[in-house]
Structure 1
Amino acid sequence: MKALVLAGGKGSRLLPITHTAPKQLVPVANKPVLFYGIESLVAAGITDIGIIVGYTADEIREAVGDGSTFGADVTYIQQGKPLGLAHAVLVARDYLGDDDFVMYLGDNFIVGGIEKLVEGFREERPDADLMLTRVEDPRAFGVAELDDDGRVVRIEEKPAHPVSDLAVAGVFLFTPVVHEAVRAIEPSARGELEITDAVQWLIEQGRKVRSTLITGYWKDTGNVSDMLEVNRSVLEGLEPCIDGKVDADSEIIGRVRVERGASVSGSRIVGPVVIGAGTSVTNSYVGPSTSVAENCVISGSEVEFSIILEGASIEGVGRIEASLIGRQSQVTHAGRTPRAHRFVVGDHSKVQITP
């Protein structure tokens, strides 16, 4: 069995962060989201991995390499334009050959891995197996309708009137018959070849389409609030470790990891928190569910429930929470000017201000 990992999307919901980095490489607990997916595949015994890449191909290649650090053999497959998940299967036809495969969306996060899903597929070998999860608002997802035996009888992409609350999560398993399905469908109203349409074609052809309902944690990390929630979830399992320097005037509470080369002075850190290598935290408070990447500076500030990316500096700005601070960003105090907010805000940014 092979894997097809999709890492070619634009990440418009994470702008402006994704102007300069692929959404799949935005870190959760200081590790890119994409890495968690690759590790899940390898843990399930799937080491032949094809990664669909687009305009951010160079960044993905640099981060993942040949896959050997994960125990995998990675092949990169260029997709000229992001024309849908089923189009990605078309593009990868030569690589996939006649093997069964897992299609894994590279910006999805699943706690607990996919070993049981893969094991069940190998035992029963349906033509398709979908990972489903219950969601509050299924209108933003592919939605499945099941019969009494758990077989999928209908699937629809982003319906205005969902038939159920069962959303298709970011993992699909297929036999080679799916190649016939993706060739048979037409582009949707948004101009894409939808994988849900391909699955519906399989259903209409009488093929066996099975579903697996997951009750564990799943998130599509396509927006800031979901990124922060996934970060919180991962940090809950953090193993505390102090490899950096913490002075006598600092207080460390709970699950905190201070990586080698980091320093904490005159500060209070309340876990779960990870402080990346080379980062300096001085006269500050870093609160729960916060990950601070490498080579950052936090001085005279308070940060909680946030993700701070590599090289960012936060100095003298009071309290920051529920925030995603980009690479090499500078957040500073404005000085003694009259009380006012002063910004340099990039395209597609979102700024929230307390009155």
Structure 2
Amino acid sequence: MKIIVPMAGMGKRMRPHTLTVPKPLIPIAGKPIVQRLLEEIAKVSGEEIDEIAYIIGDFGSEVENQLKEIAANLNASASIYYQREALGTAHAIHCAADSLDGKVVVAFADTLFKADFVLDNQADSVIWVQKVEDPSAFGVIKMDENNKITDFVEKPQEFVSDLAIIGIYYFKDGANLKSELQYLLDNKLVVNGEYQLTDALENMKNKGLSFVPGQVIEWMDCGNKDATVNTNQRILEYHKDDKLVADSLINENAVIIPPCYIGENVVIRNSVVGPHVSLGDNSLVENSLVSNAIVQTNTKIAGGNIKNSMLGNFVEVVGEAKEYSVGDYTNC
């Protein structure tokens, strides 16, 4: 099975954190978002992952090498494709046309999920969905009495369904999807200037392919700072029984309230950390209170009272009690 990961977006809602790193590589409980996403898909698929195809912008060789390493950790090969223009979801996936054959999962890398189903890999297509309170903000599906998807409706203003499409799709034969994407591009079938994946799905359904839902337990957004901090909290809760604290931690008169992720060579001195804190490698916390926060690597917090915050790499925070959302190499 192959996984196609469109992730060329600029991540503007996550600035300043995405000024130096693509959003899918922001760490959640110590692992990049895209790595956690791929690991969960691998669990649900029940099959070996042969290839992971990333569709990226001009992110540079360091990012590309990191993505290849993530694929290697799943015993998969990595392919890198580029989306030079933001022309919609269908266009993004088509950039990886050479990898669209056989069993394929397409997963947009700005969301995480938890599921207890095993993928029905004999279905023509499985669309991951989750019940939401306000369907008008999402693309949703309609189903018949046999649990088959009959319609895809984008941001309905009147209620038709509360099952929102979360941005993960399975196709038994990626060649069918490839053909429909090519049709959209060849005929310049755009909506608001963009090529839409839902149009390709509709065409496939009209040709007799069967679509069924795969309903997840939880769908976690990483679209902005508050949502990402909340997702970090949920992931820590899911993994609270795992080993999350590195043996290299130096704890000097500190209290750690689990669950927390603490990376390598972290020093915590005269402080209370947790719950729901992720501390990256080589960070220092002293004389501080830190809760519900993502702190990346080589960051120093001194005399602070920090909560509901995201701090980048090489940040220094001294003597403040507030919420933060600051990027790399910042002094506060």
Identify the TM-score tier after normalising by the shorter chain.
0.7 to 0.9
CA offset digits 1:276-308 (Å, max 9, x no partner): 112211111112111111111111110111111
Distance, in Å, in 1 between the alignment partners of 2:10 and 2:18 is 7
Give, in angstroms, the shift of residue 57 of structure 1: 4.9
Paired residue for 1:322?
308
Deviation readout 1:299-331 (Å, 9 max, x if unpaired): 1110111111112221112x2111111121221
> Aligned-pair RMSD on alpha carbons?
2.4
Q: How far is the alpha carbon of 1:240 from its aligned partner?
A: 6.1
Q: 1:48 aligns with which of 34, 47, 51?
A: 51
> 2:318 maps to which residue?
332
For 1:182, give the aligned amino acid.
L
> How far apart are the structure 2 equivalents of 1:269 and 1:235?
14
Q: Distance in 1 between matches of 2:219 and 2:314?
A: 30
1:52, 1:76 within 8 Å by CA — same for their partners in 2?
A: yes
What does residue 178 of structure 1 align with? 177
Change (3 A) 1:72 1:146: same
1:300 to 264, 287, 294: 287
Aligned mates of 1:315, 1:21 — CA distance in 2: 25
Partner of 1:5: 5
Q: Comparing 60-69 with 270-279, which one deviates more in the overlay?
A: 60-69
5+ residue gaps, structure 1: 242-256, 335-339, 347-355
Distance in 2 separating the partners of 1:263 and 1:272: 17
Higher RCO, 1 vs 2 (CA within 8 Å, ≥6 residues apart): 2
Q: Deviations over 1:196-216 (max 9, x none)?
A: 1211222333432222222x1
| Aligned ranges 1:187-336 → 2 under 5 Å | 187-189=190-192, 191-214=193-216, 216-236=217-237, 237-239=239-241, 241=243, 257-317=244-304, 319-333=305-319
Q: Does 1:17 align with 2:17?
A: yes
1:89 is aligned to 2:93:
yes
- What count of residue pairs does the alignment treat as equivalent? 315
**What is aligned with 1:353?**
none
SS in 1 for 2:194: coil
Counterpart contact for 1:33–1:107, Cα < 8 Å: yes
Identity across the alignment (%): 29
C-alpha distance in 1, partners of 2:221/2:50?
A: 23
Q: C-alpha distance in 1, partners of 2:133/2:291?
A: 27
Task: Return the alpha-carbon distance in structure 1 between the equivalents of residues 198 and 183 of structure 2.
Answer: 13
TM-score of the superposed pair, with normalisation by structure 1: 0.81
1:189-231 Cα shifts (integer Å, max 9, x gaps): 1x221111211222333432222222x1222322222222221
Shift of residue 112, structure 1, vs aligned partner: 4.0
Asked whether the equivalents of residues 190 and 196 of structure 2 are also in contact (C-alpha less than 8 Å), the reply is yes
Aligned-partner residue type, residue 227 of structure 1 = T
Show the counterpart of 1:352: none
CA gap of 1:344–1:235, structure 2 versus 1, over 3 A, is closer
Alignment partner of 2:129: what SS?
Answer: strand
CA contact 1:22–1:59 (8 Å) conserved in 2: no
Structure 1 residues 151, 92: closer, same or farther in 2, change over 3 A? Answer: same
With over 3 angstroms needed to count, the CA separation of the structure-2 counterparts of 1:328 and 1:273, relative to structure 1, is same
Amino acid at match of 2:167: G
Q: 74, 77, 80: which one pairs with 1:73?
A: 77
Which is worse superposed, 65-74 or 27-36? 65-74
- One-letter identity of the residue aligned with 1:31: K
Contact 1:85 1:193 in 2 (8 A): yes
Change (3 A) 1:9 1:58: farther
The structural deviation recorded for 1:59 is 4.3
Deviation (angstroms), 1:41: 4.1
Instruction: Provide Cα deviations, 1:140-196, integer angstroms capped at 9, x if missing partner.
Output: 32111111212222112333345211100121012222223223331211x221111
Secondary structure of the equivalent of 1:61?
A: helix
For residues 73-152 of structure 1, the aligned pairs below 5 Å read: 73-96=77-100, 98-112=101-115, 116-117=118-119, 120=120, 122-123=121-122, 125-126=123-124, 128-152=125-149
Taking a change above 3 Å as real, the CA distance of residues 345 and 287 of structure 1, as seen in their structure-2 partners, is: closer
Give deviations 1:59-101, integer Å, cap 9, x for gaps: 43131225323211111111112322211222111222x3231
Work out whether 1:164 is the aligned partner of 2:161.
Answer: yes
Task: Tell me what 1:62 maps to.
Answer: 65
Give 2:290's aligned amino acid. V
**Equivalent residue letter for 2:83:** Q
Distance 1:229 1:178 in 2: 34
CA distance in 1, matches of 2:203, 2:156: 17
- Determine helix, strand or coil for the equivalent of 1:328: coil
Alignment partners' CA distance in 1, 2:245 and 2:129: 37
- Do the aligned residues in 2 keep the contact of 1:85 with 1:194 (CA within 8 Å)? yes
Change (3 A) 1:135 1:19: same
